[in-house]
């Protein structure tokens, strides 16, 4: 028996088959948006150059800073590109990005053959920041399990940059 007003089984399956993937995609998208994203470490040396801050933005890093890690305090010196050095283990920093108040970079220590990454979130006036560092390599181990740590950066205001000197009256 045929009912001309109803759809055939083939037509019903076709509609359901076409709608099912769309409904599934919407459900997956809604679920993904509802779950808060966790922090993922990104190898900052693999970021494309287009994500790097403009050269003029990096001048806020130039000068002397105090690096405070627990009881240890070291002096850091950065150039206008945000690259610099420190005394501990003949270390150096390289800036990868400075976007807003978030600074990402890499560090290298020649004397003990280690390197890693870091991120710092600066205060609104860039006078200090809270940072985190991690290992990317320890000697020949390119997947070290050793934990990194946290640190505090504070601009050394005792040493004034020549551009900060007020003009003569």
Residues 6+ apart with CB under 8 A from 58: 80, 81, 82, 95, 98
pLDDT on residue 158: 73
Q: Please say if the pLDDT value at position 34 is more than 60.
A: no
Contact 87, 75 (CB under 8 A): yes
* 119 C-beta neighbours (distance < 10 Å), count: 20
C-alpha span between 152 and 78 (Å, rounded):
16
Mean pLDDT, to the nearest integer, of 30-56? 44
Domains and CATH numbers, the chain: 52-164 (2.40.128.20)
């Amino acid at each position: 028996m045929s009912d001309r007003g109803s759809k055939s089984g083939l037509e019903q399956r076709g509609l359901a088959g076409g709608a099912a993937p769309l409904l599934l995609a919407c459900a997956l998208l809604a679920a993904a948006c509802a779950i808060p994203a966790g922090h993922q470490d990104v190898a900052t040396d693999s970021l494309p150059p287009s994500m790097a801050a403009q050269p003029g933005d990096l001048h806020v890093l130039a000068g002397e800073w105090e690096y405070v890690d627990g009881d240890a305090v070291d002096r850091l010196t950065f150039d206008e590109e945000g690259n610099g050095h420190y005394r501990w283990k003949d270390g150096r920093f390289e800036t990868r990005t400075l976007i807003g108040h978030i600074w990402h970079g890499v560090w290298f220590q020649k004397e003990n053959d280690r390197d890693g990454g870091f991120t710092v979130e600066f205060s609104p006036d860039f006078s200090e920041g809270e940072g985190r560092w991690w290992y990317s390599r320890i000697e020949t181990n390119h997947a070290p399990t050793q934990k990194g740590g946290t640190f505090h950066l504070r601009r050394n205001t005792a040493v004034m940059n020549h551009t900060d000197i007020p003009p003569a009256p």
